[in-house]
Amino acid sequence: MSAVYFKEINAFFSSIIGYVVIGTFLVLMGLLLWVLPEFSILDGRFATLDTLFAVAPQVFLFLIPAVTMRSLSEEMQTGTLELLVTRPLTDAQIVGGKFLACLTLVLFSLLPTLLYYFTVYSLGAPPGNLDSGGIFGSYIGLLLLAAAFVAIGLFASSLTQSQMVAFLLAAFLCFFFFQMFDLLSRLPVFFGKTDDIVQAIGIQYHYDSMSRGLIDTRDVVYFLSLIAFFLAATVVSLGRRRW
Amino acid sequence: MSVQVSHLVKLYGAQRAVDDITFEVRAGEVLGFLGPNGAGKTTTMKIITGFLPPTSGEVVVCGYAVADQPMEARACVGYLPEHNPLYRDMYVREYLEFVAAIHRIPQRQGRVEEMIARTGLTSHRHKRIGELSKGYRQRVGLAQAMLHNPQVLILDEPTSGLDPNQIVEIRQLIRDLGREKTVILSTHILAEVEAVCTRAVIIHRGKLVADDSIEALKSRLSGQSVVIVEFGQPVEAALLKALPHVREVRSLGNHRWQLIAAAGQDLRPAVSAFAAERRLTLLELHKEVLSVEDVFQQLTR
């Protein structure tokens, strides 16, 4: 698994993909949070990073599918997958290595935003007047959300040889799991009856809950199950040549 | 036995891509896998490497059943797939080191350098694979297949797309490998089989039609005598077939015919008598020497 992991990491950073992903993310975040007035932290008058955690998932919605779209589709298209799966590696090791590599890249793009924390920390009046616990919880939530998006993206990539289709499918599935259940729960069929259950299937519900700084086991279990489900689905999909 | 294939069947829907194939290969043998396009060569190779599962039947590689102990079986196979898929963005060395890491080869660097030298890639080892010419890419494909020093090598059309000099080099490499290892190579270049292989398996429409040493195959070919005849006028095939000792009649067009008889039978006197009797003009009459091509064509028609 480590061989696949390091190969993928090298592929990200020896080509332009890795830098574009990190650069795009940071430029967008920087503009939205510090420059443009709409979400600006400086104009918000509160020492908080809430806007970061509101905007970051939206950016991940299209950025993570762009990271994951090539990981299996390209191997299928060029035929290298045939060589990879006939080596002494299980399909789970291949998927695991690729999952961790994509997640690492996302982590690298998230790491510099820690600077925002220190900025807001020192801009607070008095300095340090911000909800560190909430921010810590939000970071954990954002990480889990990113991991779930990566798992969904890998699954989409395992379904098709076309990177374009993989990207669109991943973006759609991520959006669906992130926000669609929240919107669906407002339909008259569910509203006032089972809307809380429908909401709880979606990512948003659990993500919001973690942003409050409370790390609830139920939310963590939800995220881990979602990630495990899509990784397992990817392994199954990769093995479909055996059907 | 390094590779044992028994009663292999692969169905694609209703089509029998591989139909009850059984053969064995020992260490020190280079087995040529022959057949027309679509005969099931590639499918069989994909099953041996464990990429595809058979519908029924079993493959045992180095004592490990591919279905039950896939990791052990895969570890002792080196595979060069058809079309030689490679990561175009990776550097030659980087790619080989990646393969070495997967196989957990001790002293990775040394082994990678050794393979680079052996496949003649030394001057290209710092290039991206995508920049290499087809011949050099083929060498990279061979290098990755041999890197972990596997007992069994499965090479699907290893010389396709190479220039004549490269073909000679690669064949020499395969012959050298074949002294200690088990090599299965597929090709439709028959001269290649004669040049490299010790044995050949011919498959046609998924069925095994021949499994013999090259010498035996050739003598099987020479076990027939073939006469080519051209008449000036149309002749009915049935009349030719009725001639004594004629086993098979094939039209070559333009009143040309190929007549096949058992070994030692010379059909020429009978044919010339036939022509005289029927007042046919005899434009051509000669005895043909059979090549591997002919045997191949006969078996896979």
Which pLDDT tens digit goes with each residue over A179-222? Answer: 888 888 888 888 877 888 888 889 998 998 888 878 889 999 99
- Residue among A10, A78, A241 whose CB faces B94 most closely: A10
Closest residue in chain B to residue A85, using alpha carbons only? B51
- CB–CB contact B49 A86 (8 Å): yes
pLDDT value of position A143: 94
Chain A residues whose beta carbon lies within 8 Å of the beta carbon of residue B98: 3, 6-7
Only one residue has tokens 């994909």, namely B46
Is A3 within 8 Å of chain B by CB? yes
Going edge to edge, which strands form the sheet with B3-12? B15-25, B3-12, B56-61, B64-65
What SS3 state is found at B285? strand
Q: Is B101 on the interface with A (CB under 8 A)?
A: yes
User: How is chain A split into domains, by residue range?
Assistant: 2-242
Give the one of A3, A89, A241 whose C-beta lies nearest to B52's C-beta. Answer: A241
Contact B75 A7 (CB under 8 A): no
Q: Which among B87, B94, B103, B137 is the top mutation candidate for probing chain A, defined by the most A β-carbons within 10 Å of its own β-carbon?
A: B87
> Contact at 8 Å (CB) between B221 and B294?
yes
CA–CA separation, B141 vs B158, rounded Å? 9
- Pick from B203, B167, B206, B207: nearest CA to B184: B203
- CA-to-CA separations, B297 to B6, B18, B198, B294, in angstroms, rounded: 26, 19, 20, 5
**How does residue A166 score in pLDDT terms, banded at 50, 70 and 90?**
very high
**Residue ranges of domains in chain B, CATH in brackets:** 3-213 (3.40.50.300), 223-299 (3.30.70.100)
Please tell me which residue of chain A has the smallest CA distance to B75.
A88
How many interface pairs between A and B have CB atoms less than 8 angstroms apart? 58
- pLDDT by residue, tens only, chain B of 301 residues: 689 999 999 998 888 889 999 999 998 899 998 888 888 899 999 999 999 999 999 999 999 999 899 999 999 999 999 889 999 999 999 999 999 999 999 888 999 999 999 888 899 989 999 999 888 899 999 999 999 999 999 999 888 778 888 888 888 888 888 888 999 999 877 788 888 898 989 888 888 888 888 777 776 666 677 888 888 888 888 888 888 888 888 888 888 888 888 766 778 888 888 888 888 888 888 877 666 666 777 777 7
Query: So what's the pLDDT on residue A100?
Result: 97
Residues of B in contact with A3 (CB under 8 A): 98, 101-102
Instruction: Check: CB of residue B5 under 8 Å from CB of residue B22.
Output: yes
Task: Name chain B contacts of A79, Cβ cutoff 8 Å.
Answer: 81, 83, 85
Average pLDDT rounded to a whole number, residues A46-61: 87
B87 lies within 8 A of chain A by CB? yes
Q: What's this model's pTM, rounded to 2 decimal places?
A: 0.84
Residues of A with CB below 8 A from B52's CB?
Answer: 241-242
Residues of chain A contacting B74 with CB distance shorter than 8 Å: 86-88
Instruction: Please enumerate in sequence order all residues whose Cβ is within 8 A of that of B27, keeping only pairs 6 or more positions apart, or say none.
Output: B2, B151, B180, B181, B182
B74/A88 touch (CB, cutoff 8 Å), yes or no: yes
Distance CA A91, CA B31 (A): 30
- What token pair was written down for B292? 């591997």
- Chain B positions touching A241 (Cβ under 8 A) are 51-52
- CA–CA gap between residue B240 and residue B248 (Å, rounded): 9
Closest by alpha carbon to B214, among B204, B201, B205, B223? B201
- pLDDT confidence of residue A27: 93
Tell me if chain B has a CB within 8 Å of the CB of A6.
Answer: yes
ipTM above 0.90, yes or no: no
Contact: A79, B50; criterion CB under 8 Å: no
Query: Residue B14: what pLDDT?
Result: 84
Q: Is the peptide bond before A57 cis (omega within 30 degrees of 0)?
A: no
A26-51 burial, b if ≥16 CB within 10 A, otherwise e? beebeebbeeeeebebeeeeebbbbb
Residue A3 is nearest to which of B85, B88, B102, comparing CB atoms? B102
Chain A residues touching residue B59 (CB < 8 angstroms): none
What's the whole-number average pLDDT of chain A? 90
Residue A158 to residue A76: CA distance in whole angstroms? 8
DSSP calls for B196-234? H-SEEEEEETTEEEEEEEHHHHHHHHHTEEEEEEEESS-
Give the C-alpha separation, A5 to B117, whole Å: 28
| pLDDT above 70 for A176 | yes
Partner residue facing A79 (CB), from B85, B94, B144 = B85
Assign A236 a pLDDT band (cuts: 50, 70, 90): very high
Cα(B75)–Cα(B79) distance, integer angstroms: 11
**CA torsion through residues A35, A40, A44, A46, sign:** negative
B52 vs A: CB within 8 A:
yes
Q: In chain B, what residues touch A14 (CB-CB under 8 Å)?
A: 89
For residues B271 and B245, is the Cβ–Cβ distance under 8 A? no
What pLDDT does residue B57 have? Answer: 93
Task: For residue B177, give how far its alpha carbon lies from the nearest alpha carbon of chain A (Å).
Answer: 20
* Chain B hits for A85, Cβ within 8 Å: 51
Q: Which of A119-133, A151-165, B187-201 has the highest mean pLDDT?
A: A151-165
